[in-house]
Chain A
């Protein structure tokens, strides 16, 4: 149990640091962006044509943008600490409420993509390690090609082919189940390429080990050797690598959501940047960061579940 508590405590500290860093960084980014903040907000709110100097002054007064920056920063950080994320400078809506809607969309997409990539990448990687030969060589080439292709290119390719050319699925939207496969597949392809590669290397290593050989000479049938020994041992590096894949996932979510107009956190983040909507920017970045930490904590727990060696000491 000690290791479990330690792992969770470390992630909790990480979450607090993420919150602090995001708060300060978001604030600094917007301070350093060129152009007058109040004016940008006014034009985002009332439209480019309606944004007059007067409207900007009104916004400045309403949001306290004329206070000195240390005071505004302190107010922001205080807000984060009390989970009061303020109101969107653009829509005037409560940020936490908006995030609540978007979070479901992003979490669903991320989990679906992770599940898809595991369902494709792990069995393929194991098959490559077991069979070798052409399957292995071909798989490695495909994995390398997929990994070298940026997510937006994969997404565009899928969109053009499946949505535009064949008309099988909608290119954008969120409302029905048909909208899910394309963005999820875009995210999953890159992830699957990585897990296939890692699974293959891990399985090949375990298959060549003395303990696997002993499992065979003890007399276990090959299916039991794989099921009881190889899979679990190969699973240790595969799950540990999930932590690395999460970085890619968080990046990919931002790109893919924008590409497919997916109403999630990543999409909202890009919009917040364009509109210089500090509370929204901060809220979305914070949510992404905390989602990253939470998924990593889940990976930690999974690691402890698979590899009992770390549980004590």
Chain B
């Protein structure tokens, strides 16, 4: 083994036009070690990952040194860098659900990397794919198409496809977002297993629990800069930089507990609801009642049917049994939904400003009110002129929240609405939603895998699904 670290980055910057989106970053990760990259949403974590991989979007320019196992790769041509993809550097993208081919069965999407990247023969590749799926608890979904997978299941499929060729360096962009505690523990275990196999792992995450579970070293980013680095456990227990302190303190476990909601006319009532997808029953005899201004939470395992409950409550899917009643005299569009996957909620080619403006004009809202909400959510207004593909995952998620609030909803089905947000912004977002619940009587059903967040948002026992 050479002494060179698996990944060494020196003075790495990423620019868009004249603007620095990542500034002068230095990193070293040895084989068998782990680096956690944490930080503010939009601070450049994903761009850092892409700059190492060499797949930045057109218009973005990276400068600085990147070496993999001692080999400088930053000056290579695009084709030469591509030869590293999958074989020596593996990247788990931030949005796996969108990253799977919608027309190809899950097992084939994994098998093809075993065959075409790792160079196994097809029979062997198929056997390897079946083994991967078994290990991830997805054997039953092997022959499914991606649209039948839940967000968490797609995440696991993407991990298997990414790692098939056993690259020495794995970069994972928010691998646990939207996963329940069990699935998170599974992801942490599989990342640790990668380290034990001698791979270097770089994990971009907002999940303090995952960072603790992985250990290793941590780098905290804010506003394009790396503001603090150190041993993960030390930094998390005794942060030195103000931003890191704020980050750690914003953990939902430390939020003040809510008081029980009382009174208010019912906005939505679901009575003994049952639903199935295909032959599989997802939930049975679920009762949901929400009064104006009330917040309740939904919890349950990944793929268990939480999103389906939302579809039933919003009338997008007929329940197998049971009825859904809404308040009389309230317009149908004031029952709103926040998609689990913010990217799926926007037209890919038009600017975010257009997406918001359409809703403002359709419902006679005021643009100034939208800007006020965006400011509360710390979304810089200049990014509205870009299409959804050119903003960060957390920025897009907040724009989606702002859009849902334009129509002054009476009910919001919020499906993991802060899954891509860092703890401080998650807290600001949840406080905004709670205020709106109090001021405007907005009732909210919050889907979250995080029991601390559920306890911080609602005094009611969460509804359990699946």
Contacts and interface: CB of A to CB of B under 8 A. Distances in A.
Interface of A: 209-211, 213-221, 224, 228-229, 232-233, 236, 306-309, 312-313
Given A211-B99, A211-B102, A214-B100, 12 more contacts: A209-B98, A213-B93, A214-B93, A216-B82, A218-B162, A219-B87, A219-B117, A220-B117, A232-B103, A232-B104, A233-B103, A308-B145
Contact of A217 (B53, B102, B145): B53
A235 to B, nearest CB: 9
30 contacts: A210-B93, A210-B98, A210-B99, A211-B99, A211-B100, A214-B100, A215-B101, A216-B55, A217-B53, A217-B55, A217-B85, A217-B93, A217-B162, A218-B86, A218-B117, A218-B161, A218-B162, A219-B113, A219-B116, A219-B165, A220-B113, A221-B116, A229-B101, A232-B104, A233-B101, A233-B102, A308-B103, A309-B103, A309-B145, A312-B278
Q: Which of B93, B98, B101, B164 has the most chain A CB atoms closer than 10 A to its own CB?
A: B101
Contacts of B395: none
A217 B112 CA distance: 13
Contacts of B162: 217-218
Interface string B156-175: 00100110110100000000
A219 B86 contact: yes
B112 A213 contact: no
Interface residues of B, number: 32
B145 A211 contact: no
Contact of A219 (B85, B278, B389): B85
Contact of A210 (B82, B86, B95): B95
B210 interface: no
Interface of B: 53, 55, 82, 85-87, 90-91, 93, 95, 98-104, 112-113, 116-117, 145, 147, 158, 161-162, 164-165, 167, 278, 343, 389
Contacts, number: 76
A175 to B, nearest CB: 45
A232 B105 CA distance: 13
A3 B53 CA distance: 43
A197 B67 CA distance: 43
A220 B90 CA distance: 12
Q: Which of A214, A224, A229 has the most chain B CB atoms closer than 10 A to its own CB?
A: A214
A127 to B, nearest CB: 19
Contacts of A307: 103
Contacts of B95: 210
A206 to B, nearest CB: 10
A158 B147 CA distance: 48
Contacts of A306: 103
A240 to B, nearest CB: 13
A139 to B, nearest CB: 21
Nearest to B158: A214
Nearest to B97: A210
A309 B101 CA distance: 12
A257 B93 CA distance: 55
Nearest to A220: B116
B150 to A, nearest CB: 17
A308 B164 CA distance: 25
Nearest to A221: B116
B55 A213 contact: yes
B85 A218 contact: yes
Nearest to A212: B101
A125 to B, nearest CB: 19
Q: Which of A211, A219, A228, A233 has the most chain B CB atoms closer than 10 A to its own CB?
A: A219
Contacts of A313: 278
A209 B101 CA distance: 10
Contacts of A232: 103-104
A215 B99 CA distance: 8
A-B interface, 6 closest residue pairs, ranked by CB to CB distance from nearest: A219-B86, A214-B99, A219-B117, A210-B98, A219-B85, A211-B101
A312 B389 CA distance: 31
Given A236-B103, A308-B145, A309-B145, A217 B86 contact: yes
A301 B278 CA distance: 23
Contacts of A312: 278
A218 B113 contact: yes
Contacts of B103: 232-233, 236, 306-309
Contacts of A217: 53, 55, 85-86, 91, 93, 162
Contacts of B86: 217-220
A180 B104 CA distance: 40
Q: Which of A210, A221, A309 has the most chain B CB atoms closer than 10 A to its own CB?
A: A210
Nearest to A313: B278
B63 to A, nearest CB: 21
A215 B162 CA distance: 10
Contacts of B104: 228-229, 232
Contacts of A233: 101-103
A215 B98 CA distance: 11
A211 B98 contact: yes
Contacts of A215: 101
Contacts of A220: 86, 112-113, 116-117
A96 to B, nearest CB: 43
Nearest to A307: B103
Nearest to B94: A210
Contacts of A236: 103
Contacts of B278: 312-313
A211 B97 CA distance: 9
Nearest to B167: A219
A79 to B, nearest CB: 46
Nearest to A230: B101
Contacts of A219: 85-87, 90, 113, 116-117, 165, 167
A168 to B, nearest CB: 44
A64 B161 CA distance: 75
A309 B147 contact: yes
Contacts of B167: 219
B47 to A, nearest CB: 15
A224 B116 contact: yes
Nearest to A233: B103
Q: Which of B91, B95, B102 has the most chain A CB atoms closer than 10 A to its own CB?
A: B102
Nearest to A306: B103
A221 B101 CA distance: 16
A260 B279 CA distance: 57
A102 B113 CA distance: 52
A282 to B, nearest CB: 43
A123 to B, nearest CB: 21
Contacts of A221: 116
A306 B102 CA distance: 11
Nearest to A206: B101
Q: Which of A215, A221, A232, A309 has the most chain B CB atoms closer than 10 A to its own CB?
A: A215
